[in-house]
Amino acid sequence: MTFIAFPHVEEILKRHLDCIYVNFGMEFCKKQKIHFIYLYPLFINKVTSPEIVINNYFIKDDEHWNKQGHKLVADFIFNNLKE
- What is the pTM (predicted TM-score) of this model? 0.86
Nearest to 34 by CA among 25, 43, 42: 25
Q: What is the mean pLDDT of residues 7-30?
A: 92
Nearest to 70 by CA among 56, 52, 49, 51: 56
- Asked whether the beta carbons of 55 and 23 are under 8 A apart, the reply is no
For residue 18, the model assigns a pLDDT of 82
For residue 81, the model assigns a pLDDT of 75
Quick check: 83 pLDDT over 60?
no
Nearest to 73 by CA among 35, 37, 22, 33: 37
Quote the DSSP letter at residue 12: H
